[in-house]
Structure 1
Amino acid sequence: MDLELRHLKIVRAVADAGSLTRAATVLGLTQPALSTQLKRIERALDGPLFVRGREGVRATALGELVLERARVVLPAVSELQEDAVRFARQGTVGYRLGGTHGPLLGGLVDRIVRQEPGVPVTTYTSWSEGEVAGGVAAGRLDFALVGVCGESTPPGPGRLAWREVARDPVHVMLAEDHPLAHRPWIELAELAAEAWTDVPGDGCFGDCFAAACVRAGFTPACVYETDTASCVHLVQVGRAVGLCRATFPVTPGLVTRPLAGSPLVWRHLLGWHPAARAAARAAAVLQHARDAHTEALARSSAAAVATAQVPAARP
């Protein structure tokens, strides 16, 4: 049997997982099937790669050698594939945009279409910032419009160039008849007894929110993670309060208010691959994204309270 890339991926998965059971789950295989594959690989390499024990598996000297080479070969092949796809698509005309939930992607599409009528624009959306960034790295997308919490690093591979579109304080959504809805701003601690709702994502926002609540002296008793429409519904009917960006549009039945001290901040980012043909258009797309943010902010609930003086957080 000749050694193949898939075999190296199996060896690396077993080493990373520390057990055949966990590795089988990661690889989408049954544990017996993975054991059979590993035995074939070991026969092809003429020696055992792992020592099995109660606490999992440990690489042998031969296994360490194979892992050392695999950690060089696998990223190199992945990079080769990404570069090949990007090269093959260098002649593609148009814009392939990826983004997460929120109004900015639609605003960016609108501005590009207005400026360049007839030029094809395609979009791809995902809850995963990492997935969108990976699409740009792999050459499937030209630009990623995503966001990160505070000063967190951008998602995905480090091969992408990232520029900040804007940064906004995170607001809270309340039902329009909520006891605090008339206030121009709200202390996070005043919402300690509330149930919360938010959209999913693979960034650190959930951890940042939990940390902000701890600093405010409480732990959220309940957080409903669901899609945007369901979040809005739960807020409108008074089942929860929600977190949203300052660009959240005016919506019947709810209001948005800033949190005192801006304990949570959202940075909108635009990413692209510097070696891709699309990089030549990055400055123009970045300006479109910034203009789309300005327009979204002007249409948002936040615009109604933008002039309110929001105090610093209480010590």
Structure 2
Amino acid sequence: MELELRHLRTIRTIAEAGSLTRAATLLGLAQPALSAQLRRIERALGGALFERGRHGVRATALGELVLERTRIVLPAVSELQQEAVRFARARQEPERLRLRLGGTHGPLLGALVDRLAEAVPGATVTTRASWSERELAGLLAEGRLDFALAGTCGSAAPPDATHLVWREIAVDPVFVMLPAGHPLAAAAEVELSALAGEDWAVVPGDGCFADCFTAACARAGFAARRMYETDTASCVHLVQVGRAVGLCRATFPTTPGITTLPLAGTPLVWRHVLGWHPAAQAPDTAATVLAEARSAHAGAAARSDSYAHWLAGNDQPAGA
């Protein structure tokens, strides 16, 4: 039997799981089938890779040697596959340009698609949405996305900033969403401390926003009573029916039954960023997409009355 990459992945899974039973579950195999496969692999490599005991398996000296090489070979092959995909994408002819865009929740992804349809009429644009900035970064690294719209809380670094290029689109204050009948809905701005008794609704993310919000509440003298982390439509519903107040980006579109207001002192900010892999994109393509993303944000800011009022009162251009 010749050793294959799948055999190395099997060895790695057994070592990480610590037992054949758990490894079989992870690999979707019956334990007898996995045991038989392991015996074939061990014969091909010339000796036992694992010692079996009452508490699971432990790598032998030969097993440690193979695992050490596996930790080098598998990532190298994965990187080769990713580089090949990026190389193939980068050599596409301009007249057949295809742009695969990813984005987190928010109005910018749709606006960017609309603007690119006008700026690059020959391009084929597809989209993929995710609440996870890290997932989007992984898809960029794997060559499965060309560009990703994401965001970070404050000055936090975007994911995988070592290998990917991230460029700032804009920085916005975080606003609060209140039901139209809320006692504070007519205010020009809201002190965070005035909302101490409220429940909260927010869309999920894997950055530091939740920690920053908790810290802002602590500075305001309270701890958030309850946090509903859910999709945008559910957040809107919870606010509309008065079950919670919400946190949103300042560009959040006008929505019936909801008032969006700035938080006094701007305790939280959100930085919009556009990411891509430098080996996969021509500089002029990246420059075009970035320029259109910034225009899309400016358009979203102009359509928000509450954001326009805030900008006028703070004497700032949108996204400054």
Letter in 2 for 1:172: V
Q: Name the CA shift for 1:31/1:194 in 2 (closer, same or farther; >3 Å).
A: farther
Matches within 5 A, 1:255-270: 255-270=259-274
Q: Name the CA shift for 1:20/1:218 in 2 (closer, same or farther; >3 Å).
A: farther
CA distance in 2, matches of 1:184, 1:286: 33
Shift of 1:211: 3.4
> Which among 284, 289, 295 is matched to residue 285 of structure 1?
289
Gaps of 5+ in 1: 311-315
Letter in 2 for 1:166: A
Tell me which residue corresponds to 1:274.
278
Instruction: Compute the TM-score of the two structures, normalised by the length of structure 1.
Output: 0.84
Letter in 1 for 2:150: V
1:109-132 per-residue CA deviation (whole Å, 9 max, x = no partner) reads: 122212232432222222222222
Structure 1 position 36 matched with structure 2 position 40: no
Matches within 5 A, 1:1-315: 1-16=1-16, 27=26, 29=28, 32=31, 36=35, 39-40=38-39, 41-42=41-42, 44-45=44-45, 46-49=47-50, 59-89=59-89, 90-91=91-92, 92-156=96-160, 158-300=162-304, 301-308=306-313
Shift of 1:165: 0.9
Q: Name the CA shift for 1:146/1:309 in 2 (closer, same or farther; >3 Å).
A: closer
Letter in 1 for 2:262: P
Q: Name the CA shift for 1:66/1:212 in 2 (closer, same or farther; >3 Å).
A: farther
Kept in 2, the 8 Å contact 1:184–1:308? The answer is: no
CA distance in 1, matches of 2:164, 2:106: 22
Shift of 1:136: 2.2
Kept in 2, the 8 Å contact 1:11–1:38? The answer is: no
The sequence identity of aligned pairs, in percent, is 63
Larger Rg: 2
Instruction: Compute the TM-score of the two structures, normalised by the length of structure 2.
Output: 0.83
Shift of 1:71: 2.0
Tell me which residue corresponds to 2:318.
none
Shift of 1:175: 0.8
CA distance in 2, matches of 1:153, 1:273: 16
Name which of structure 1's ranges 283-292 and 256-265 shifts more when overlaid on structure 2. 256-265
CA distance in 2, matches of 1:308, 1:28: 59
Kept in 2, the 8 Å contact 1:149–1:205? The answer is: yes
Shift of 1:276: 1.5
1:28-65 per-residue CA deviation (whole Å, 9 max, x = no partner) reads: 647847963784445544123467575x7654443432
Letter in 1 for 2:121: P
Q: Name the CA shift for 1:163/1:34 in 2 (closer, same or farther; >3 Å).
A: farther
Kept in 1, the 8 Å contact 2:20–2:35? The answer is: no
Q: Name the CA shift for 1:154/1:44 in 2 (closer, same or farther; >3 Å).
A: farther
CA distance in 2, matches of 1:58, 1:219: 46
Number of paired residues?
308
1:233-281 per-residue CA deviation (whole Å, 9 max, x = no partner) reads: 1101100111111111111211112223333221111111111244431
* Secondary structure class of the residue paired with 1:170: strand
Shift of 1:226: 1.8
Kept in 2, the 8 Å contact 1:273–1:279? The answer is: no
Kept in 2, the 8 Å contact 1:173–1:241? The answer is: yes
Kept in 1, the 8 Å contact 2:99–2:146? The answer is: yes
Q: Name the CA shift for 1:256/1:73 in 2 (closer, same or farther; >3 Å).
A: same
* Secondary structure class of the residue paired with 1:257: strand
Shift of 1:24: 6.0
* Secondary structure class of the residue paired with 2:136: helix
CA distance in 2, matches of 1:99, 1:130: 11
* Secondary structure class of the residue paired with 2:215: helix
1:157-201 per-residue CA deviation (whole Å, 9 max, x = no partner) reads: 742111111111211111111122222222323222211111223
Q: What is the RMSD of the two structures over their aligned residues, measured on CA atoms? A: 2.9
Letter in 2 for 1:3: L
CA distance in 1, matches of 2:36, 2:313: 64
Kept in 2, the 8 Å contact 1:134–1:157? The answer is: no
Letter in 1 for 2:245: V
